[in-house]
Structure 1
Amino acid sequence: MRVWAPPALLVVCGSLLATGPISAGSPGAAAALLVAFLLLAAVSSPLVFPRSIGALEAQRRSAVDGRPVVFWRPGCTYCLRLRIRLGRSACRLHWVDVWRDPAGSAAVREVNDGNETVPTVVVDGRPHTNPDPAWVRDQL
């Protein structure tokens, strides 16, 4: 449920802020403000990421097909930057949401000195914390 808290908060804030221009007689400005907040909510939602799988399943699949595993969490701006810069190639990686998968969270903490730093990308069994998206694309 907490993965939807930031997008829901953006929608509520946008709705509340849009009431000001509406009461001032400017429905166009209110609509533009609401659309901007809805776009921010959509971008910060888990919907922009490929479907997440568990860490153990991702590691198993990576061993079979050689694709990198990306550990991420909703609301992380660095994860969003990686996802957007990868474009359509993002579907070729195995994505693990560390908020939904305790094994994924533990794996990330293990390689980052106890910190849950994301995105952490595992390529050929070696972890890379917050790598350059162009480098990740090259690994595909």
Structure 2
Amino acid sequence: MKRAWTLPVSFAAGGALLAAGLVVDGSSGAAAATFLVFVLIAGLHSPLAFPRSVGALEAQHRSAVDGRPVVYWRAGCKYCLRLRFRLGRNAGRLHWVDIWSDPAGAAAVRAANDGNETVPTVVVAGRAYTNPDPEWVRGQLASSV
């Protein structure tokens, strides 16, 4: 879990340091704006931007029951962010597995991607698709209902 927060905390700390420098220079308005931008970037790269993750085994079980795809992701991945935001409200209907907080999820991704932890990896009906088009994923979700 610590690994998933390294990048967001780094963004927030860097923004705080930059803002502190601007305050010392007498630019408190610019400091506040700079800090806010860095906090927003940190939030986008954190697990908070994604629906709540479940473990890989739980996600596989739920997918077997309801037919919804499983998405393996990690914090800081721009392709995962793209998928998440392009899916919009439908993202909450998928089963999300954070590979940095679930070793079984990381192992499933490595098994599907020749030993690489390439995300997002979406599993539909037992078949893995690496970095699929968000519209395709939306279509798979619609057909699973």
Q: Give, in whole Å, the separation in 2 of the partners of 1:74 and 1:33.
A: 22
Give the TM-score normalised by structure 1.
0.97
CA-based RMSD: 0.8
Give the TM-score normalised by structure 2.
0.93
Superposition pairs for residues 19-58 of structure 1, below 5 Å? 19-58=20-59
Name the stretch that deviates more: 96-105 or 19-28.
Answer: 19-28
Number of the residue aligned with 2:12: 11
What is the deviation of 1:75?
Answer: 1.1
Number of the residue aligned with 1:132: 133
The runs of at least 4 consecutive aligned structure 1 residues that moved more than 4 Å come to none
Q: Give, in whole Å, the separation in 1 of the partners of 2:105 and 2:3.
A: 17
Q: Give, in whole Å, the separation in 1 of the partners of 2:101 and 2:40.
A: 24
Aligned residue type for 1:78? Y
SS in 2 for 1:10: helix
Q: Give, in whole Å, the separation in 1 of the partners of 2:102 and 2:5.
A: 16
SS in 2 for 1:117: coil
Unaligned runs of 5+ in 1: none
What is the deviation of 1:20?
Answer: 2.4
Q: Give, in whole Å, the separation in 1 of the partners of 2:35 and 2:104.
A: 38
Unaligned runs of 5+ in 2: none
Give percent identity, aligned residues only. Answer: 68
Q: Give, in whole Å, the separation in 2 of the partners of 1:79 and 1:40.
A: 15
User: Does the alignment pair 1:107 with 2:108?
Assistant: yes
